[in-house]
Structure 1
Amino acid sequence: MSFQKRLLSLVVVDSLIVFASVYICSFLLFSGCVVPKVPLTLVSTTLLVSHHLFASRYRLYKRAWEYASADEMVTVLKAVTFSVITAAIIQWIIGQQIYFRILTTTWMMHLFLIGGSRFSWRIYKEKHFSGNKKVKKRTLIIGAGSAGMLATRQLKNSKDCDLIPVAFIDDDKQKQNLEILGLPVIGGLSRLKDIVRDLKIENIIIAIPSLTKKELHSIYLDCIKTKINTQMMPMFEDLVTGKVSVNEIRNVEPGDLLGREPVELDTNSISKYITDSVVLVTGAGGSIGSEICRQISLFLPSKLILLGHGENSIYTIEMELKSSLNHHFEIVTEIADITDRDKIFTIMNQYKPRVVFHAAAHKHVPLMERNPEEAIKNNVIGTKNVAEAAGENGVETFVMISTDKAVNPTSVMGATKRIAEMIVQELNHKSNTRFVAVRFGNVLGSRGSVIPLFKEQISKGGPITVTHPEMTRYFMTIPEASRLVLQAGANAQGGEIFVLDMGEPVKIVDLAKNLIRLSGYSENDIEITFSGIRAGEKLFEEILSKTEVQDFQIHPKIFVGKSVNVEVTKITKLLEVYNHLDRDELKEVLLYMTNQPKEIMQVVI
C-alpha cells in the first residue's frame, strides 16, 4: 500500500472512531435518550479537529504499526489525552461549558479503539506470518536482553527465515519465569540440556553480543553437549554500520572459540608512521599479506604498493581495495619474484617506501621438507634481497613476517625462517633502517592451515586426519596476525622479535572435534584418524627461545624477544654452497645451523 493510501485509510478510520466514541458514550450515559442541552455535533467536531492535530504532532500516521511496542502505546495515550483536553478547552471557549461525563467516557472509548486498531494490525501481521505453511525449526534464544528481543522480533516477522523462537533462557534470575515478547524465560544455562529436550528444540541462537571470547567458549561447550546446531547473532557494531542484518544469524566460527580477546591496536602510534606514507607489502596477495593491506588502508597511506608473484591474487586484492570506502590513496601493483634481486632493488629505488612489510614466503612444512633448496631461495635469499634493498634505499621501518616454527626449529621451513630473522637482525646493526621480525602461531583460515583442510574433509563425509592426538599449536586469526604486524612497526626500535600473547595452546584434535560440531555433525558421523607426525613437525611449538626471553612487554598482548648475536659468515657460507649439497645434507645443515651454530662449518665441510 502506498503512503498516501495508508494515510487516507488511517485518517478515515480515526474519524469514524471519534464520531463513534462520542455517540456510543452518549447512548450509554443517557440510556439512548440524548439530552437536548448536549450539542453532540460540537463535542464530536472539536474532538475530531483536536485528534487530527495531535495525531499529526505525534506522527501516529507515519508509524509502522506492525512493529508496535510500548513506546507506540504511550504515544497513542498522549495523542488521545491531549486531544480530549483540547476539545474541552474549545467547548468552554465556545459554549462556556465542558461536558465532563461525555469527554471522560469518550476518552476511554477513544483510547481503546485507537490503540486497538493499531495493535490489531501488528497481531494480524504476526499471525499471518506465523501461519505460513513453511515448517520452521523450534529455536531457543540464549540471552533475554535487548539483543535477544531484537533477534526474536526479526525471526517472528521474517517470512523467509526457517527459524521460529519458542523460548528464552537467561541466567538473570529477575527475568526468569517472566514472558518477553510472548515467549517464556524458562531458566538459566544450568538447565539447558533439559530445556532442549522438553521443548524439542532444533536450533540454538546465542544472542549476547557483549560476550568475551572466554564466556562464549564456555557457553558453546554447554550447547554442543545438547548436540543441537548452535548459531550466533551478529555483533552490534556490524548491525549499526549496516554490514549485516539481524536475521543474518551466523554459525559459531573456530576463531570465536580461542578463549581470549582479540588484540586491540594503539591506533595513534600506527597512524604516525603509516598515514600519508608510501608503504610496500611483499606477498600482498597471500592470506596474511592481503589482510595487512586491508588494515593499512584504514590508516590512509599516500601510496600502497602491492608486490607479489601471483598475478591473480594481486589483482583480487587490488580490486577489493579500490572498491573500498577507504580508497583515498594511490594503489600500485608490482608483479615480481623476491629472488630476482635486480628487480627488487629497482622497485625499491623507484618508490622509496617509508615502510616495508615483508610477508612473501614459502610456509608449507611438508613441501619444504621435500624442497629445501626452494625454501632457501625464497625464505632466505628472497628476504635478504628485500631487506638489503630496503636498507640501501632509506626505508625507515622494515617488518618481516616470521613463524613460531623458527624457535628451535625441527623443520626446513622453520630453519629458513630463523635464518631470515638472523639476516634481518644483523642488517639492523648496519643500517639506519629499523629491522624487526614478527612471529605468528598458526593462523586460522589462512591458505594451507588446518581449518580449510578439515572443512573439505568434513564436506566429503570424513575422515578428518590429525597427525597425533597430542599435537598442540598456538592459534590466532588472520586479522589478529595483521594487527600485530602493524603494531610491531609502530613499536619498532630495531632488532626485536615481536610475538603475540596467544593464550593457551590448543590441541589439534580438539579443534577438529569443535569443527565437526560447528558443521552440524557428531563424532559418530565424522571419524577422526591419526596419520602420524610428519617430517619436521614438533608436538609442541614455542614462541621464544630461552636466550630471547625478556622480562617486559611493550603492549599488553605482545612480547618482545631480544636480539641475539648472529654469525654472518656462516650464513654467507651456506648461500655459497647450498646448491652443491643434496637435499638430505642441506636439511642437516639448516637444522645444525639454527640449533647448534658452532657445528655448522664442520657439517658444510
Structure 2
Amino acid sequence: MSYQKRLAALVTVDSIIVLMSIVFSYMLLTPFNNVVPIAIIVSSLGLFVSHHLFAHVFKLYKRVWSYASIYELKAILKAVTLSIAVVAVLQVVVFGSMYTRALIVTWMLHVIFIGGSRFMWRMYRDTYLSTNDTSEKKRTLIIGAGFGGSMVGRQLTQSGNTELNLVGYIDDDPNKQQLAVFDLPVLGTVNELETVVQLKKIEHIIIAIPSLSRERLHEIFNRCTNTNAKTQIMPRVEDLASGKVSVTAIRDVQVEDLLGRDPVELDISKISNKLSGKTVLVTGAGGSIGSEICRQVANFKPAKLILLGHGENSIYEIERELKTNGIEAAIQPVIADIQDRERIEHVMMREKPDVIYHAAAHKHVPLMEQNAHEAVKNNVMGTKNVAKAADKSGVSAFVMVSTDKAVNPTSIMGATKRLAEMVVQHMNKVSDTRFVAVRFGNVLGSRGSVIPLFKKQIAAGGPVTVTDPDMTRYFMTIPEASRLVIQAGALADGGEIFVLDMGEPVKIVDLAKNLIKLSGYDTDDIGIKYTGMRPGEKLYEELLSDDEVHGEQIYPQIYRGKTAAIDISAIERAEAYVAQGVADLTLREYVLEIAGGVIERKEESLPPKKETSKIKVGQDLAVVK
C-alpha cells in the first residue's frame, strides 16, 4: 500500500472513531435520552480537530504499526490525553462547565478504539502473515530471558524469513522458571543445558546476555560445546552502547569473547580535556595498535590527527577508513621512517603536535632474534629520534606503547623495548614534555599474533602448532588496549611506566583448543603439535619486575610502576655498537645485559672450546666480540 493510501485510510478510521467516541460515551451515560445536546456536538468537533493535530505532532500516521510496541502505545496515550484536555478547556470556555464523566469515558473509548485499530493489524500480521512452517527450521534455544533474550526472541518469532525456530529459553533467574516469554517457556537453568538440548532436540543456541562477564561466558560456552548444537552470541554491551551494532545482530562466538577482559569505563572528561581541539600524532598509525588508537582518538574530536607510518598502504587504509567514517578532525597522512632523525624532526617542527602516541616498533620475537641491529635501530634509536623531536617541538605529552616482554627480557625484542622505556624515562627528566610508557601483553588478533596463525592452520586441516604445553600469555583485545593507552596518557604526570591489568594469563594450548571448538571441530580432528620454544621466548610473561612493583591501582585496571635507575650512557654505547657494525649476537648480549635480562650465549658466539654460560647483569660486554 502506498503512503498516500495508507495515510487516507488511517485518517478516515481515526475520524470515525473521534466523531463517535463522545456520542458513544453520552449514550452509555444517558441511554434513555434520545436528544444529543449541542455541547456533545461541539465537543466532538473540538476532539476531531485536536486529535488530528496531536496525531501529527506524535507521528501516529508515520509509524509502522505491524511492529507496534510499548513505544507506539505511549504515543497514542499522549495524543489522546492531550486531545481530551483541549476539549475540557473548550467546554469550560464555551459552556462554563466541564462534563467530567463524559470526558473520562470518551478518553477510555478513544484509547481502546485508536489503539485497537493499530494493534489489530500487528495481531493479524503475526498470526496469519508469518511463515508457520517450522519443519525445515533449526530448533533454537536462547540463553538469557532478560532484555537481550526477549529482543532476540521477538525478532525470531516475528520474522518469517529466518531459518531458526525458537523453542524456548534458558535462564538462571529462579523467578523466571516455569514462566513464558512471547509464549515460549523458560525451560531451565544453565546447569540443565545439556538435558534441555537433548530433550528438545535443540540444533542452535544463542547466548543473549550482553552484560555477561567474560569468565561466565567462558563457562556457558564450554557447556554449549558439550552439545552438538551450533552456538552464537549477541553483541557485547560496549558495542551496543556505542551504537556499532543492534541487539539482534547475532554472530558466531569469537575467541576474543572468551579471552578478552570485561570493559572498563573511561574518564571521558579527562581524556577530552587532553585531546579535544588538539593536534595528535600517532607513529605506527597503520599497525594494529596504532590504527585503533587513531580510531579511539578520533572520538574525542581533535583538531588534527597525523597518521605517521613507514608502510604507505597501511597508512592509506587507515586514512581512508577515518575519512569514510566522517570524523571531524583534519587527517594528515605522513610517510616517514622513525629511524630517519632529520625527517622526523622536520615533521614535528612543521606539524607542532600537542600529543604523541608512539606505537611504531618491530615486535616479532623470533625474527628480531636474527636481526638484532634492526631491532636496536628501530625500537631504541627510532624511539629516541621521536622523543627528542617531541622535546624540540614543544609537545605536551608523549605516550609510548610498550610490552610485557620488556620485563626481565630474554629476547632482543623485549630488551630493546625496555631500552626504549629507559629512553622515555630519561627524556622526562630533561624535558618539559611529559613522557610516559604503557606496558601490556599480547593483543588478540594483532598482526603477527598467534590467533591468525592458528586460524590458518585449522582452515588447512591442522595440526595447530604450539611451542610448549605450559606456555602462558596475557591477552587483551585491540580496542581495550588502545582505550587504556589513551586513558593512561591522560593520567600521566611524567616519567611513569603504566601497566595494564591483563587479568589471568592464558595457556596457549587452551587458546588453541578454544579456536578449534569455535571453528566447529574437535581436537581429535585437527590435532595439536608441540614444536618446542623458539629463540628468545619464555614460558610466561611478567608485567612488572620486582623493583618496579607499585601496589595500588591509579585507575581501574591501570597500575603505575616505580621509576628505576637509568644509565643513558649504556644505551648510547649500544647505539655506538650499531654504528660500528658489531656482530648481531654480541649486540644482542649487550642489549640484554643493560636491559636487565638473563642472557644465554649461543655456541656460535663464543670463543672456541668454551661451554655455554649465563652472563650476569652488570658484566661488561664491551670486550666480548
- Identify the TM-score tier after normalising by the shorter chain: 0.7 to 0.9
Write the letter of the residue equivalent to 1:577.
Y
Q: CA deviation at 1:537?
A: 0.6
Q: CA deviation at 1:120?
A: 5.6
User: 1:183-582 counterparts in 2 under 5 A?
Assistant: 183-235=184-236, 238=239, 243-258=244-259, 260-328=261-329, 330-578=330-578, 579-582=580-583
Deviates more, 1:193-202 or 1:60-69: 60-69
Q: CA deviation at 1:478?
A: 0.9
| Aligned CA distance change for structure 1 residues 210 and 58 (closer, same or farther; 3 Å) | farther
What per-residue deviation string (whole Å, max 9, x for no partner) do you get for residues 219-260 of structure 1? Answer: 323323324222222356755765323432122232322374
Q: CA deviation at 1:114?
A: 8.9
What per-residue deviation string (whole Å, max 9, x for no partner) do you get for residues 155-193 of structure 1? Answer: 223344322321011222222212221211111112111
Identity level (%): 57
Matched, 1:598 2:618: yes
CA distance in 2, matches of 1:124, 1:46: 36
Write the letter of the residue equivalent to 2:286.
G
Q: CA deviation at 1:446?
A: 0.8
Partner of 2:174: 173
User: 1:75-94 counterparts in 2 under 5 A?
Assistant: none
| Aligned CA distance change for structure 1 residues 113 and 530 (closer, same or farther; 3 Å) | same
What per-residue deviation string (whole Å, max 9, x for no partner) do you get for residues 63-113 of structure 1? Answer: 54433457878969x98xx99xx9xxx9xxxxxxxxxxxxx9xx9999999
Helix, strand or coil: the match of 1:139?
A: strand
Helix, strand or coil: the match of 2:380?
A: helix
CA distance in 2, matches of 1:110, 1:435: 68
Matched, 1:584 2:562: no
Write the letter of the residue equivalent to 1:456.
K
Helix, strand or coil: the match of 1:409?
A: coil
CA distance in 2, matches of 1:196, 1:133: 18
5+ residue gaps, structure 2, are: 20-31, 92-104, 598-615
Q: CA deviation at 1:551?
A: 3.1
TM-score normalised by L of structure 1:
0.83
CA distance in 2, matches of 1:287, 1:411: 22
Helix, strand or coil: the match of 1:543?
A: coil
What per-residue deviation string (whole Å, max 9, x for no partner) do you get for residues 281-317 of structure 1? Answer: 1111111111111121122222222110011111111
Partner of 1:140: 141
Write the letter of the residue equivalent to 2:155.
Q
| Aligned CA distance change for structure 1 residues 71 and 318 (closer, same or farther; 3 Å) | closer
CA distance in 2, matches of 1:473, 1:516: 18
CA distance in 1, matches of 2:520, 2:507: 21
Write the letter of the residue equivalent to 1:381.
M
What per-residue deviation string (whole Å, max 9, x for no partner) do you get for residues 113-171 of structure 1? Answer: 99887656434433433236893322111121222221112122334432232101122
TM-score normalised by L of structure 2:
0.81
Contact 1:362/1:368 (CA < 8 Å) preserved in 2? yes
Contact 2:338/2:386 (CA < 8 Å) preserved in 1? yes
Q: CA deviation at 1:324?
A: 2.9
5+ residue gaps, structure 1, are: 20-35, 91-103
What per-residue deviation string (whole Å, max 9, x for no partner) do you get for residues 320-356 of structure 1? Answer: 222334324x221211111111111211222222222
Contact 1:140/1:168 (CA < 8 Å) preserved in 2? yes
Write the letter of the residue equivalent to 2:151.
L
CA distance in 1, matches of 2:565, 2:33: 109
CA distance in 1, matches of 2:195, 2:474: 35
Contact 2:279/2:352 (CA < 8 Å) preserved in 1? yes
Write the letter of the residue equivalent to 2:169.
F
Q: CA deviation at 1:532?
A: 1.4
Contact 1:495/1:562 (CA < 8 Å) preserved in 2? no
Partner of 1:2: 2
| Aligned CA distance change for structure 1 residues 522 and 51 (closer, same or farther; 3 Å) | farther
CA distance in 1, matches of 2:343, 2:483: 29
CA distance in 2, matches of 1:118, 1:557: 51
Q: CA RMSD in A?
A: 4.1
What per-residue deviation string (whole Å, max 9, x for no partner) do you get for residues 428-456 of structure 1? Answer: 22222222211120001111111222222
Write the letter of the residue equivalent to 2:619.
E
Deviates more, 1:508-517 or 1:151-160: 151-160
Contact 2:171/2:190 (CA < 8 Å) preserved in 1? yes
Write the letter of the residue equivalent to 2:6.
R
